Amino acid sequence: MSAFFPRPFALSIGPQACGVDILRDYFKIRKDVCLPSVQEICYFDRHIQRGPDFYKEHFNLSEDVALYMELTTTAFDHPQAPGRVKNLLGPDVQLFCPLRDPVERSLAVYNRYLRYGIVRGTIQEACEQAPQILFSSRYADQLEHWFQNFETIYFISYESLQERPEETFKMLCHYLGLPFQSPRRKFEFPKIFMRMKQNFKPEPFSMHDSRAWLREQLADEKARLSEVLGYSVF
């Protein structure tokens, strides 16, 4: 149990575009799980100076829930975030980490950033403008900081959430100590990815070329992750 909350706390630490929308869609309908009042508090990377009470005030504290939970995508690649999580939520916080094929994750973030006008140009140019497109997909490097602070992290894949949601959520619920509840519907590609800026016009960049370039940059990432974990996530 977290000393800061009246019930155990679970934190999803996977990076952007690894299935957080699917997870949130599932957990927000459960009455035994309390999510914060905003999608992401961004406390452990951006708002740490605002203090612990700022974090806590985003949750509706109640004795009726079995588990408090935040689904964050911004803490994964911040080197100080793991230590901050440990200091606030304790060493026994239940960490779980959704991951996605690193090439497909980077490509999905690139496409999203193009639509929102965050980046422009080819994938190479975009990675210079927003380095997290690439370095957040270097999972083994980012997880090094987390394993320096925590012994146990439960991993799931975006692909399993899409292809085997019942089995994946059953195993996740078991890890979290929650009774399994079947997903109400088949999860679809989140609509947020389909929203575009009002005047957005697709630029003529080949997704095939972008994927090929990312494969070169991330060629050994799956193998490195499997070496770190001792098994394959994908």
Q: Which residues contact 84 (CB under 8 A, 6 or more apart)?
A: 43, 44, 48
State the Cα–Cα distance between residues 233 and 46, nearest whole angstrom. 29
What's residue 41's pLDDT?
Answer: 97
Question: Could you tell me the pTM of the whole model?
Answer: 0.90
> Is pLDDT at 2 greater than 70 in this prediction?
no
pLDDT at residue number 190? 42
State which fold the 9-100+139-192+222-229 domain adopts.
Rossmann fold (3.40.50)
Per-residue pLDDT tens digits for 212-234:
999 999 999 999 999 999 999 99
pLDDT 10s digits, 45-73? 999 999 999 999 999 988 889 999 999 99
Return the SS3 of 104.
helix
Identify the band that residue 205 occupies on the pLDDT scale cut at 50, 70 and 90. Answer: low
Residue 188 has pLDDT above 50, yes or no: no
Collapsing DSSP states into helix, strand and coil, what is residue 139?
helix
Average pLDDT of the chain is 91
Q: How far apart are CA 114 and CA 133, in angstroms?
A: 11
Residue 104's Cβ-count burial label (10 Å; 0-12, 13-18, 19+) is: middle
In a 3-state reduction of DSSP, which class is residue 24?
helix
